[in-house]
Each structure stands twice: as structure tokens, then as C-alpha cells.
Amino acid sequence: MRHLYVLAVEHRGVVAVDVETRESVFMPLEIRMKDGRREGRITPCLLPELDLIEEVVTRSPRYYPLSFRLAGEEGGGREGGRKGGGARLFEGVRRRILVKRKPGRWRGREGGRVGGKE
């Protein structure tokens, strides 16, 4: 009985994954809350409660921008975001943001890979 709280816990961890290499990368995020506040995080990270989030926007010069809304409003995000499908990103156990590197961007130590080896 004492371990049933695990079933009620909401998984809020998120990881950014490069679509070409399938590796985790560091990705700055701007999290816009429903009450107007903005928070900055770098993936991999834990997000605030999903009910409080309105929109999540990636902020990296190395990768194409992406934004998606979690507020359930139609119209979706801007800059290549998903139309009304942002909440689907956080269904299931794995919460991943798939990102694509811009052509001509640097690699190596400054590449932003989580493992540090490239």
C-alpha cells in the first residue's frame, strides 16, 4: 500500500535528441507558464507541473527552432511547432524533443552533446 504513490506520480523529465545521430544533446528551453511567467531550463531536465505550462520553446543557435503548446489551444506553435499536438509529446514514459542541427554548425566540444565525446 505504501508504494502506490508511484502510480500517481507524473513523469516530467525531458530530453532533447538529435534526429540524425540519435544522441542526447543539451538544449536551452524557454518555458512559458499559463500565469505569464517564463522559466529557462537546459535539457535533460525536469519540467514544472504540466498543467501549469502553456508553451515550450527551444532556444539554440545550433538547432532549428521548435515550439509547442501544452494549453490545448488550437493553432499550435510558431517557428515549426506542432499544430495542437504538443501535449502528445508528453504522453507515455519517454519525453523527448527531436531536434535537427542547422547545416554548417560546429561539432566537437562545442557541439552540445551530453556524453561529451564526438
Range in 4-8, 45-49, 90-94 with the lowest mean pLDDT: 90-94
pTM over 0.75: no
All structural domains of the chain with their residue ranges = 31-103
- Grid coordinates representing 36 are 505569464
Predicted local distance difference test score (pLDDT) of residue 59: 92
What is the maximal distance between C-alpha atoms in the chain? 55
Residue 77 CA: distances (Å) to CA of 7, 29, 33, 107, 108? 31, 14, 14, 28, 31
Predicted local distance difference test score (pLDDT) of residue 6: 63
Kind plus residue range of the DSSP H or E element containing 6: helix 5-8
Predicted local distance difference test score (pLDDT) of residue 26: 93
Range in 28-37, 55-64, 65-74 with the lowest mean pLDDT: 65-74
- The answer, yes or no, to whether residue 114 has pLDDT greater than 70, is no
